[in-house]
Chains A and B, each alone.
Chain A
Amino acid sequence: QKEVEQDPGPLSVPEGAIVSLNCTYSNSAFQYFMWYRQYSRKGPELLMYTYSSGNKEDGRFTAQVDKSSKYISLFIRDSQPSDSATYLCAGRRTGFQKLVFGTGTRLLVSP
């Protein structure tokens, strides 16, 4: 079993839809969680960074962590075609440098 699991997609939505992207993880020692957006042939760009459980909002993006169920989510409101990319979630243990990534979910937002 992989430490971080993501559905690879693609997830196709119309412009303006609310998008929900999800990951599950197995390591209960993870305390830090990140969402990255990666466009084709580019490096991942940090979108959201959260510590432990709870919600964090930044513009159209909301990250949610539920440590009791080992479930992390990224919500995108008013999705735009420019949001079309692969979204990677990652977890990290306190005191460890290593990030453990999911395989990514490909999102397609059609105009």
Chain B
Amino acid sequence: DGGITQSPKYLFRKEGQNVTLSCEQNLNHDAMYWYRQDPGQGLRLIYYSQIVNDFQKGDIAEGYSVSREKKESFPLTVTSAQKNPTAFYLCASSIEGVGQPQHFGDGTRLSIL
């Protein structure tokens, strides 16, 4: 089955620790995205990548980093500089092209210990 796999489903971070969230897709999509979802707020774009080895900041990139070494993979690192990391993180992908819809994985819930 084609789809987007996010892991782990739940993640806990200690103070001062960096953590990495995994996102893998087997849809052969060119573009991949990371969103953050908080209660009472819409999804907010953290980073996106349209091709391998290239990515752009979204609206709330501070305290996050990404890499895109393979087409299938777009990991997100939540660094210690992100002071309010508790949220539901969603990865999405789409075919590259005008107006193509985005499809989402099932998310990773990150909490602070």
Contact surface of A with B, Cβ cutoff 8 Å: 2, 4, 8, 31-32, 34, 36, 41-46, 49, 51, 88, 90, 92, 94-95, 97-104
Contacts and interface: CB of A to CB of B under 8 A. Distances in A.
Interface in B45-68: 45, 48, 50, 56, 58-59
Interface of B: 4, 6, 31, 33, 40-43, 45, 48, 50, 56, 58-59, 90, 92, 98-99, 101-107, 109
B58 A41 contact: no
Contacts of A31: 99
A32 B106 contact: no
A101 B31 contact: no
Contacts of A100: 42
Contacts of B101: 32, 34, 46, 49
Given A43-B105, A46-B103, A4 B31 contact: no
27 contacts: A34-B101, A41-B106, A41-B107, A41-B109, A43-B4, A43-B90, A43-B92, A43-B105, A43-B106, A44-B90, A44-B104, A45-B104, A46-B101, A46-B104, A49-B101, A51-B99, A92-B99, A94-B98, A95-B98, A97-B33, A97-B50, A97-B56, A98-B59, A99-B45, A103-B40, A103-B41, A103-B42
Contacts of A34: 101-102
A101 B43 contact: yes
The 9 closest A-B pairs by CB, nearest first: A101-B42, A43-B104, A32-B99, A101-B43, A43-B106, A49-B101, A44-B104, A103-B42, A43-B107
A44 B6 CA distance: 13
A104 B38 CA distance: 11
A92 B102 CA distance: 11
B103 A42 contact: no
Contacts of A42: 106-107
A101 B105 CA distance: 16
